[in-house]
Structure formats: C-alpha cells, structure tokens
Amino acid sequence: MAPHATDEPVGLSSNGQAEPVNKGEAPQEPGIQDNIARGKQSEFPRPPKFDDKYAERDYLKGRLAAAFRIFGKYGFDEGVAGHITLRDPVEKDCFWVNPFGVAFSHINKSDLILVNHEGNVIDGGEVRLLNTAAYMIHHAVHTARPDVMCAAHSHSIYGRTWCTLGRKIDTLTQDSCAFHDDHVVYESFNGVVLAEKEGKSIASCLGNKKAALLQNHGLLTVGKTIEEAVFWFVSLEKCCHSQLMAEAAAASRGEKPITIGDEDAGYTWKAVGSPAAGYFSAKPLFDVIHRETKGEYLQ
C-alpha cells in the first residue's frame, strides 16, 4: 500500500555520508545544506524550501543530473533521443535540459544547458547543442502547465512498444492505479517533433494529466518536482511492460487480464498517485544513484 516510515531511519548528510536521523523526520537528501534541511522536513520527505532562488537552482540542477543518471541506469537512452527538463526557479520562462548528444550516464550538473522561451541556449556547460524536439515539446508543456516543474520523455523499450497500440494502459495492478484516469493517448505521429504546432498539440492533449502515451513514439511524464516526474516515467514504463506480459499470457489461454474496478482504482490513486506519493516513491532511486556514482553527478 502507501509508503510508510521505518522505525530506525538512516539518512545522508550533505557530503553523502550515512547518518541516523530522529524518528519521524525525513532523511536528508544529498546536496541539501544542514541549515536548510534542519527542522524543515517531518514524517515523510518533502521537497526542501529555499529562501535563495540561486541556491535552489543549484540544488535542483544536481537533482536533474541525478535524474539523467537514473534514466541511463534503466536503459532509457536510445542514441541521442530523450530529454528531461527543469523549469528554472530564477527565470521561470526558461528551462534546464541535457545537451544534445551527451550520454545520460555521463551527465553532471555542470553539463546542463539553460534554454530561454525563444529556444536559445543562454547558459550552461561546454556542449550547447539543443535538441529541437526537446524544445518544441517541453516549451509547450511548461507554458501550458505552470504547475509543472519537470517533464520527462524518452524512447524506452516497453513504453514505445505499448504506444504502438494506440490505447491507454488498463488498471491491472496497484502500481497502475497511479495512472487511473490520469494519463492520455496522443493519437498522432508526424515524425520527429520539429514544429511548434506539434508541441502545442501534445501539451493540449496532456491537459492536466501526469502522463501521455505518444502514439508510435514513447512516454511523456510531468511533475511538480523532478522526483515525481522521474518516478512516474519509471513506473509507467514498468506498467507498460507488465501489461504487455499480462495480455500475452492471458491470450495464450484465450482469456483477458482482470482489471481493477473504478471505485477501488480511484481510492488507491489517492495513496499511490498523488504528487507527494510520486516524490517519496522516487527517493530510493535517487539514493541508490548517489551511492553508486559517489555523487559524481554533482560536479
């Protein structure tokens, strides 16, 4: 069911070292200074609050770099395709994104590039190539959805396979309840998204939902935090995988998978499908990538 606190939590200090935390308090995330984290998180982890927007920018860039490392770890890269964007907390009509052609698994926060509303790269690392499709899709989504801090898209294998069917996923499992009445199918494919109109059409189709299945293309997820958007992508990819297997297994017996009823699915959504649930559910992904990379992505 819904995530719950452990009896003896262990957190990470700002330098990435494990340290005990008081019961009922959330572990400190890598990159948060002690004076910011102290006393500001209780019960379950919540996004840290910053008085200094430039400090917030620096922290969020680190989380975005970690997000790319997670995507690389899960094999969500496909050549140079795929992008995750972060709305800049300082200049809110701009966003940070990965430089075109740099491997997800190698991205550090210093590599990220800042793109303005006109599609020009105005700050960032040495490689300042911008994926035009990233700009067209993400600019449209960030413009249409002021609540979206982060949007993620890539050509993951099970997501893009499911997207060839032109159907929403069914509510077959507890995990898929997070997407119950909370995702759409974009029923069009016009090649690589290089036109402003196509990006706006995707954003319009997404509406107020957390995810879109781009027909013959791949998955798109959004969130109020980087963590939320990343977890929805990872989870939706697994839901696509699960349904592909379930339908194949059922078909071999002339049957169909059993779906969860609307009432139960809606009730479960409240536990596993909220922004807070998405943020908290992503915590292990970010903790593991921090330990495995020894915090290299923070460079």
Write out the chain's pLDDT in tens, 299 residues: 444 333 333 344 444 443 443 333 444 456 666 666 555 444 677 899 999 999 999 999 999 999 999 999 999 999 999 999 999 999 999 999 999 999 999 999 999 999 999 999 999 999 999 999 899 999 999 999 999 999 999 999 999 999 999 999 999 999 999 999 999 999 987 766 667 888 999 999 999 999 999 999 999 999 999 999 999 999 999 999 999 999 999 999 999 999 999 999 999 999 999 999 999 999 999 999 999 999 999 99
In terms of phi and psi (left: phi > 0; alpha: psi -120 to 50; beta: otherwise), the region of 295 is left
- What angle (nearest 5°) sits at the alpha carbon of residue 185, between those of residues 183 and 186? 125
Number of domains the chain contains: 1
The domain that contains 65 carries what CATH number? 3.40.225.10
Its pTM stands at 0.85
**H/E stretch holding 162:** helix 157-162
Please tell me the predicted confidence (pLDDT) of residue 44.
72
Q: Quick one: pLDDT at residue 9?
A: 35
Domain span at residue 266 reads 53-298
Of the candidates 157, 162, 202, 93, the residue with the CA atom closest to the CA atom of residue 85? 93
Residue 139 covered by a domain: yes
191 domain-assigned: yes
pLDDT reported for residue 30: 61
- Residue 265 forms part of a structural domain: yes
Instruction: State the DSSP code for 210.
Output: S
Within-domain flag for 25 = no
**110: number of CA atoms within 13 Å, CB side?**
5
Domain presence at residue 116:
yes
Q: What is the pLDDT of residue 196?
A: 83
Structural domain includes residue 57: yes
> Does residue 287 lie in a domain region?
yes
Residue 154 lies in a domain: yes
Which among 43, 55, 56, 81 is positioned nearest to 214, based on CA atoms? Answer: 81
The H or E element that residue 84 is part of is strand 83-87
pLDDT of residue 189: 76
